[in-house]
């Protein structure tokens, strides 16, 4: 065989073949180094002014319920719940709370149910929700003793409790919060006020034994047990924002179960009364 000749010129490139199937995905590589922190964003807008005082409940009007009711709701907590269903976060106004809202909404021609208010006797015009209100705290239709707004914006206390009216609802958020009623029941001998606070905290961490004004301010929608519930005494009988726990409590400051001693109790309609201390009841607990 003779020697190989020189290589010939390269031929033209052939057409591109079809793309083959994708191969299996390879292993993920290690993460890269964290980049430098970015610049801070612009400052957000200033929020609305708040009140630093525990003793001020803001007043704001939510509206009148679309549904009408008579004066027998089954208790104040049901009236609060009806407002909350119509306007989430709202509760039944008391009159002076309503007056502080400066509402420009027309009052229904037939008026509207509203809770009763009380005025402090200590000077000025400090007011709060009354312990006992219209229709004997909203459980009766047989008497002319309902508290109602009238179209002029004033209030009457003799509305027929069988009449059907909308509810006046306020949505200012109270500074007091109701935690609940204890499952444990006790006579008026709670072991003293510190022990009463501890009983609440054991079942609802962070809570304490309510005093009456706290409970009234908290606009609870929780049904009160049939036997009622113990509540501590306040320095005022109504839900005054400045009312504090009384230096003397009921049942000789919660150390007596005698039937001749009395302690503060929440009735199952939401009003406050005093009851003999030999009966077992749950405790009302506030945050």
Write out the DSSP string of 25-87.
PPPPPPPPPPPPPPPPPPPPPPPPP----TT-----EEEE-SS-B-SBSSSHHHHHHHHHHHS
What's the alpha-carbon Rg for the chain, to the nearest Å?
Answer: 34
Nearest to 231 by CA among 244, 205, 212, 213: 212
Percent of the chain whose predicted confidence (pLDDT) is above 90: 72
Residue 272 scores a pLDDT above 80: yes
Q: Mark 79-100 as b/e (b = at least 16 C-beta within 10 Å).
A: bbbbbbebbeebbbbbbbbbbb
Does the pLDDT value for residue 284 go beyond 90? yes
User: Average pLDDT over the chain, rounded to whole?
Assistant: 89
User: 117-119 and 127-129 as β-strands: parallel, antiparallel, unpaired?
Assistant: antiparallel
pLDDT at 198 over 50: yes
Q: What is the mean pLDDT of residues 12-32?
A: 77
Q: How confident is the model at residue 190 (pLDDT cuts 50, 70, 90)?
A: very high
Which of 24-38, 100-114, 260-274 is the least confident region? 24-38
Q: What is the predicted pLDDT for the residue at 122?
A: 52
Q: Picking from 45-54, 83-92, 222-231, which range would have the lowest pLDDT averaged per residue?
A: 45-54
Given a cut of 50, is residue 47 above it in pLDDT?
no
Q: Please choose, from the candidates 146, 49, 163, 149, the residue with its C-alpha nearest in 3D space to the C-alpha of residue 97.
A: 149
- The yes-or-no verdict on residue 44 having pLDDT over 70 is no
In this structure, are residues 263 and 277 in contact, taking their beta carbons and an 8 Å threshold?
yes
- Output the pLDDT for position 38: 58
User: What is the mean pLDDT of the segment spanning 203-216?
Assistant: 97
Q: If DSSP codes are grouped into helix, strand and coil, which group holds residue 193?
A: helix
Cα(218)–Cα(286) distance, integer angstroms: 8
Predicted model pTM:
0.79
Residue 257 has pLDDT above 70, yes or no: yes
Q: How far apart are CA 76 and CA 72, in angstroms?
A: 10
Structure-model confidence comparison of residues 26 and 160, the more confident one: 160
């Amino acid at each position: 065989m003779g020697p190989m000749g020189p290589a010939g010129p390269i031929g033209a490139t052939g057409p591109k073949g079809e793309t083959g199937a994708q191969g299996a995905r390879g292993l993920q590589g290690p993460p890269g180094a964290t980049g430098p922190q970015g610049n801070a964003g612009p400052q957000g807008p200033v929020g609305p002014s708040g009140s630093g005082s525990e003793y001020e409940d803001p007043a704001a009007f939510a509206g009148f319920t679309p549904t009408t009711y008579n004066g027998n709701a089954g208790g104040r907590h049901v009236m609060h719940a009806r407002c909350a269903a119509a306007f989430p976060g709202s509760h039944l106004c008391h009159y002076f709370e309503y007056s502080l809202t400066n509402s420009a909404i027309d009052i229904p021609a037939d008026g509207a149910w509203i809770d009763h208010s009380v005025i402090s006797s200590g000077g000025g015009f400090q007011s709060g929700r009354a312990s006992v209100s219209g229709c004997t705290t909203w459980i009766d239709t047989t008497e002319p003793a309902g508290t109602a707004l009238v179209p002029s914006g004033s209030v009457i206390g003799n509305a027929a409790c069988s009449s059907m009216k909308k509810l006046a609802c306020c949505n200012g958020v109270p500074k007091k919060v109701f935690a609940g009623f204890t499952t444990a029941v006790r006579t008026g001998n709670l072991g003293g006020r510190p022990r009463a606070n501890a009983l609440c905290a054991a079942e609802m961490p962070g809570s304490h034994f309510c005093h009456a004004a706290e409970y009234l301010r908290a606009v609870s929608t929780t049904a009160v047990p049939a036997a009622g519930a113990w509540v501590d005494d306040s320095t005022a009988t109504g839900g005054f924002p400045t009312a504090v726990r009384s230096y003397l409590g009921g049942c000789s400051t919660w150390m007596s179960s005698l039937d001749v001693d009395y302690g503060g109790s929440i009735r199952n309609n939401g009003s406050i009364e005093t009851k003999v201390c030999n009966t077992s009841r749950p405790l009302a607990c506030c945050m």
